Structure 1
Amino acid sequence: MSDPVLLVEATRGPFVESRHIGHAVISRADGTIVESWGNPDELVFARSAAKVLQALPLVESGASAGLSSQQLALACASHLAEWRHIARVRGWLADLGLDEHALYCGPQASRDEQLAEDMIREGEPVTPAFNWCSGKHSGFLTVARHLGVSLDYVDIDNPVQKAVREAFEDMTGDVSPGFGFDGCSAPNFVSRLSGMAAAMARVAAADGKSDVRSRAAVTLRDAMLAHPEMVAGSGRLDTELVRVAKEPVVLKSGADGFYVAVLPKQKLGVALKIAGGADPGAMVAITALMVRLGVLDAANPVVRRFLTPKIMNWAGLEVGGLRPAAGLVG
């Protein structure tokens, strides 16, 4: 077993102030590791980075019939709760004959600052539709309705979660040692980091295969590629870098310093975890790996914003920044 390694440095003035250590894996669909940093077998919670796997039963079961590609992307999303996200979630629930009380994710303030301010000013309540996982939960409800089972879809023994676990273990290539409940109340299964990278590679390489799971993976992947604004939102890495990439790529964050990438052209998957759980470090590291793999151009100003972000103080002065560790970019 390998210890975590240096992936990102934070500077203040000319000095390194802090270091983000972690693990990363680039994998092929057969589980072959192309490159790795730290411990490929580190047990991890992928958190929201696993959403494309959690959404597989939505498509495999046939429950997604009639859903738009925007809704499928939203089922895999950690959205900002911009109005475009909220409107689709509410419309989706209405089509199911349900309202927001059916969502178990809990209320969460919009990360659209203007919308959040307007809601406070107007006394509008924060509801579960604004939770950044409300699309995933709408997908779970859709599967539950389709199967005719209890709408208590976050129960680990509910057929919805049994289907999620089966898909998760099949795609990661390993039996999960267990689960914990995510911030949105849904079960989140543990895997090896290398297993998560391999799962993303299997999503990347699923084209042309006739089995139900591969076809479902392509459907979800292509929805995310077509609608990156649904996957995250304005200004977010998962949206902005997809738009400037030199080839198709899906980027997906997970809480506490996790990121995955799906590279269909290269048929590769990437997974990384910052050991201390720092999301800024994870964003720099995944951007660096995409530059390393030729997916992003380091000279592009949008890429630079995520590859070497500035640290600003309250007076608006640049006082430092983050940068990938030496050699991570390539």
Structure 2
Amino acid sequence: MTGAVELTEIWRADRVESLHLGHVVICKPGGEIVDAWGDPETVIYPRSSAKMIQALPLVESGAAEAAELGTEDLALACASHNGAAIHTERVTAWLDRLGLDDGDLRCGAHMPRDPAAAKVLTCSDEAPGQAHNNCSGKHAGFLTLTRHLGAGPEYLDLDHPVQVAVREAWEDVTGEAVHGWAVDGCSAPNFATSLHGLGRAMAFFAAARDGADTPREAAAARLRQAMAAHPELVAGEGRACTELMRAMGGGVAIKTGAEGVFVAMLPKQRLGVALKIADGATRASEAAIAAVLVRLGVLAADHPATRRFLDAPIVNCRGITTGHVRAAAALR
């Protein structure tokens, strides 16, 4: 067991100005560790990186099929989206099909990250709705499962049937009991797990196949495939999740989480990746995941999207490149 190690460097001119430390683990479906940096047993909150785990009960219960959800809906259930029109219009339509509206969500509202959507709201003096919340697709999924189970409206309560199902799925795919829980930014419970457990879960998703013997594995395959098929819905333009998935041609699904978490599911290799930057820096997690994907042979090092995150330029107010965000040599 070791502490956090150097994963990302911030260069200015010819010297390293800052360092981001963290942990990375690459796992097989049974939890066997293929490679690791730092301490794979460190316990973290996966935050939004684990939305596909939270969506498992939606699919395996039959709720998604009963509600006639398509792949776009399933991608949104796993998304941390920008709140662009392509996101909010789909979430609103989903709620309409359920006979629900924005007020039934429990995620809260915030301004969209998408510049065009933010400009529309600002210029019209309209307040953002809960559909603009980056987690609104996940919450629409929670509501769909709530309706299917005939449960009450407070689907975020820890003892609500939705969250009971999420916790059971979470412990199953991570292979360990949760290490407590906390309230996430969207007010949903976020269960703590070891990085090793999260990597094991991602390997389970990576290895899942259509026509699987178990509803859980079949659900995992559908969710992973939906994410890879619709990278623009999982995040949005300019985001690492979207750009890197596009660069990999839909063969790999990846997902960011707050506070420097990133995961990847590599179906051909049957591998799962989980990483955590100790200081929570997103710039560091994006560089680190790009380096790991290049190292595993699924992302081209010379692709423009790769260069944008693996060796990201730091540009000042005059447009002068003053430095770079680079993955540490150990990951390259």
User: How far apart are the structure 2 equivalents of 1:132 and 1:53?
Assistant: 17
Q: Determine if contact 2:48/2:80 at 8 Å carries over to the other structure.
A: yes
1:11-34 per-position Cα deviation (integer Å, ceiling 9, x unaligned) = 122221110000000000010000
Tell me the residue number matched to 1:230: 233
**Cα drift, residue 145 of structure 1:** 0.6
Amino acid at match of 2:49: A
Q: Determine if contact 1:44/1:191 at 8 Å carries over to the other structure.
A: yes
Tell me the residue number matched to 2:104: 102
**Cα drift, residue 209 of structure 1:** 2.8
SS in 2 for 1:323: strand
With normalisation by structure 1, the TM-score equals 0.98
SS in 1 for 2:164: helix
**Cα drift, residue 138 of structure 1:** 0.3
User: How far apart are the structure 2 equivalents of 1:172 and 1:239?
Assistant: 25
User: How far apart are the structure 2 equivalents of 1:52 and 1:157?
Assistant: 20
1:174 maps to which of 173, 176, 187: 176
Query: Structure 2 matches for 1:248-287, cutoff 5 A?
Result: 248-287=251-290
Amino acid at match of 1:153: Y
Whether 1:240 and 2:231 are equivalent positions in the alignment is no
- Between 1:40-49 and 1:118-127, the stretch displaced more is 118-127
User: How far apart are the structure 2 equivalents of 1:209 and 1:25?
Assistant: 26
Tell me the residue number matched to 2:84: 82
1:226-277 per-position Cα deviation (integer Å, ceiling 9, x unaligned) = 1111111112111111111167100100000000000000000000000000
User: How far apart are the structure 1 equivalents of 2:151 and 2:3?
Assistant: 44
CA gap 1:247/1:173 in 2 versus in 1, 3 angstroms: same
- Between 1:118-127 and 1:303-312, the stretch displaced more is 118-127
User: How far apart are the structure 2 equivalents of 1:299 and 1:92?
Assistant: 39
Tell me the residue number matched to 2:70: 68
Tell me the residue number matched to 1:321: 324
With normalisation by structure 2, the TM-score equals 0.97
Tell me the residue number matched to 1:194: 196
User: How far apart are the structure 2 equivalents of 1:177 and 1:114?
Assistant: 40
Query: Structure 2 matches for 1:123-202, cutoff 5 A?
Result: 123-202=125-204
Q: Determine if contact 1:249/1:263 at 8 Å carries over to the other structure.
A: yes
User: How far apart are the structure 2 equivalents of 1:177 and 1:196?
Assistant: 12
CA gap 1:225/1:247 in 2 versus in 1, 3 angstroms: closer
Whether 1:115 and 2:113 are equivalent positions in the alignment is no
User: How far apart are the structure 2 equivalents of 1:177 and 1:311?
Assistant: 37
Aligned alpha-carbon RMSD (Å): 1.0
Q: Determine if contact 2:171/2:178 at 8 Å carries over to the other structure.
A: yes
Tell me the residue number matched to 1:205: 207
Q: Determine if contact 1:246/1:297 at 8 Å carries over to the other structure.
A: no
1:35-62 per-position Cα deviation (integer Å, ceiling 9, x unaligned) = 0000010001110000000000000111
User: How far apart are the structure 1 equivalents of 2:159 and 2:270?
Assistant: 34
Q: Determine if contact 2:84/2:116 at 8 Å carries over to the other structure.
A: no
User: How far apart are the structure 2 equivalents of 1:291 and 1:242?
Assistant: 12
- Between 1:163-172 and 1:115-124, the stretch displaced more is 115-124
**Unpaired stretches in structure 2, ≥5 consecutive residues:** none
SS in 1 for 2:137: helix
Tell me the residue number matched to 2:17: 17
User: How far apart are the structure 1 equivalents of 2:325 and 2:242?
Assistant: 20
Tell me the residue number matched to 2:306: 303
Percent of aligned positions that are identical? 52
**Unpaired stretches in structure 1, ≥5 consecutive residues:** none
Amino acid at match of 1:195: G
